[in-house]
C-alpha cells in the first residue's frame, strides 16, 4: 500500500520516522492515514510505503510544469519553505519489488516504511535544478537565469494544505532491506533525460 507524507502535520525540521505522531492537515492526508489504519487493523501481513513528491517521466509532473512555465514567462515564483525529497515512480517500483521478495522470505519484515530518494530540497531548489538542466540541454526557455524567485507557502495557497516538513527518515527501510537509496537529483536528471530526448 502506498501512503504519503501528508499523514504528518509538517512541523519541525527533522526527518520523521515511521513511529512519529501523525496529524494530517487535509482531507487527502486523513484519507491516507485512514487507509493505513484499516490495513493494520485487518491483521493481514502488509507493506505500507509512505512516500513524497512522486514523479515519473510520463504524464504531468512538477518538472514538466516548471519547464512549460519557464518557456512561457520571464520570471517564476516557486515555494521555498516546503522541504522534501523528489522520488521517482521507478525508484518506488524497484523498492517495492525488492521489499516484496524479501518479505516473502522473512515475514517479520511486514510493516510501515518510509520510501523516498536520498537528500532533501525545496520546490524552489528543485525548480532551479530542472531549469538549469534544460538550459544546459539547449531547450528553449524564456525565463532569465536567476529569475526564479523563492516565495513562502503563504503566497501560494492550494486546495490541500501541504506539510512544510516532508522529510521522511528512510533508516528503517535501508536497514531492513539492505538498500542504498540514490540522491534525488540523480532520479530527476534521469527522468528529464527520458522525458525530453
Instruction: Catalogue the active-site residues.
Output: 28
Between CA 71 and CA 143 the distance in angstroms is: 7
| CA 196 vs CA 70, 74, 94: distances in Å | 15, 21, 23
Question: Grid coordinates in use for 49?
Answer: 510505503
Q: Are strands 148-151 and 2-4 parallel, antiparallel or unpaired?
A: unpaired
For the sheet containing 47-51, what is the strand order? 2-4, 47-51, 111-114
Amino acid at each position: 500500500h502506498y501512503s504519503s507524507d501528508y499523514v504528518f502535520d509538517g512541523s519541525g525540521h527533522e526527518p520523521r520516522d515511521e513511529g512519529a505522531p501523525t496529524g494530517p492537515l487535509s482531507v487527502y492526508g486523513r484519507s491516507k492515514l485512514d487507509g493505513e489504519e484499516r490495513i493494520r487493523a485487518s491483521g493481514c501481513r502488509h507493506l505500507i510505503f509512505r512516500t513524497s513528491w512522486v514523479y515519473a517521466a510520463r504524464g504531468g509532473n512538477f518538472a514538466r510544469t516548471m519547464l512549460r512555465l519557464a518557456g512561457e514567462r520571464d520570471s517564476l515564483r516557486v515555494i521555498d519553505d516546503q522541504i522534501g525529497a523528489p522520488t521517482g515512480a521507478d525508484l518506488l517500483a524497484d523498492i517495492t519489488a525488492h521489499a516484496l521478495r524479501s518479505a516473502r522470505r522473512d515475514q517479520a519484515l511486514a510493516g510501515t516504511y518510509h520510501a523516498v530518494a536520498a537528500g532533501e530540497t525545496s520546490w524552489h531548489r528543485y525548480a532551479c535544478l530542472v531549469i538549469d538542466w534544460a538550459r544546459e540541454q539547449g531547450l528553449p526557455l524564456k525565463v532569465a537565469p536567476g529569475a526564479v524567485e523563492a516565495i513562502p507557502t503563504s503566497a501560494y495557497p492550494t486546495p490541500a494544505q501541504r506539510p512544510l516538513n516532508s522529510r521522511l527518515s528512510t533508516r528503517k527501510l535501508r536497514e531492513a532491506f539492505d538498500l542504498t537509496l540514490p540522491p534525488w537529483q540523480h532520479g530527476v536528471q534521469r527522468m528529464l533525460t527520458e522525458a525530453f530526448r
